[in-house]
Amino acid sequence: MKASRIVAAGAAAGITVLALSAPAFAHVTVQPEGTAAKGGYAVIDFKVPNERDDASTTKLEVNFPTDHPLASVMPEPMPGWKIEVTKSKLDKPLEMHGEKITEAVTKVTWTADGKGIEPGYFEKFPLSVGQLPEDTDQLAFKALQTYSNKEVVRWIEVPQKGKEEPDNPAPVLELAAASEDGHHGAAADEDSGSAPAEKTSADTTAADSSADTDTTARVLGIVGIVVGAAGVAYGVLAGRRRSDA
């Protein structure tokens, strides 16, 4: 009886550590390259993992928020993908650089003209966007991911603060505050023609920190396996000794 309890405890320890160190369920996400500051411009990447073992991702549709329309949206050319930008009339025109904007991008669609994103891979879909709104802290983009077997996964549930993450969360872009000198993230970099050294250093530090976190998670995962295996082995050995006695 004592041996069986030891086995169960060892296995539970290993499973617990693995659960804590395992990566979150993969889904379509959006992150800025550098900083996405309110009132400025930014380059943002939609990261799309292929979650199927028997199908490739062949289309990505990203819908833009209509409550905070963006007047400027420019995709980067991507080999193997056809890109379509859809614009719609605005109910209320925007003021941008002294000009009235009567329409804005409401959707960008990437369609594979090759193999798409095959099983076991992911791809980033970059966009240059602006001007970012100043009256909100985040932008939610509802996305549809289509597979070669015609399956469509709808990443359209907007996460709510204080509640559990939904099963199919929409990509959410967090906006940073504009700097005190009036610069707005990527917009300032575009005007100067190059990124300042401080920004490059910050990006490098953030990347190193992310890599350290990933390494720590993997180490914890390995430790969990070792702990669980050791517990099982000890329990079996203890049981055999008890039987022999």
Closest-CA residue to 127 (of 80, 170, 179, 72): 72
Q: Is 29 helix (H, G, I), strand (E, B) or coil?
A: strand
Between CA 83 and CA 71 the distance in angstroms is 18
Highest mean pLDDT among 100-104, 143-147, 202-206: 143-147
> Where residue 229 falls among pLDDT bands split at 50, 70, 90?
low
DSSP 149: T
H helix runs in 134-196, sequence order: 186-192
The angle at the Cα of 149, spanning 143 to 153, to the nearest 5 degrees, equals 20
Counted residue by residue, the chain has a size of: 245
The terminus-to-terminus CA distance of the chain in angstroms comes to 15
Closest-CA residue to 122 (of 64, 46, 24): 46
Give residue 18's pLDDT: 39
The torsion angle over the Cα atoms of residues 225, 230, 231 and 233, rounded to 10 degrees, is: 120
Between CA 137 and CA 172 the distance in angstroms is 10
pTM over the 0.75 mark: no
Give the CA radius of gyration of the chain.
24
Q: What is the pLDDT of residues 138-164, one digit of tens each?
A: 999 999 999 999 999 999 999 988 889
Closest-CA residue to 50 (of 108, 124, 113, 141): 124
Element (H, E) at 234: helix 197-244
Q: Is 219 helix (H, G, I), strand (E, B) or coil?
A: helix
Between CA 138 and CA 30 the distance in angstroms is 11
Give residue 188's pLDDT: 41
Give residue 22's pLDDT: 36
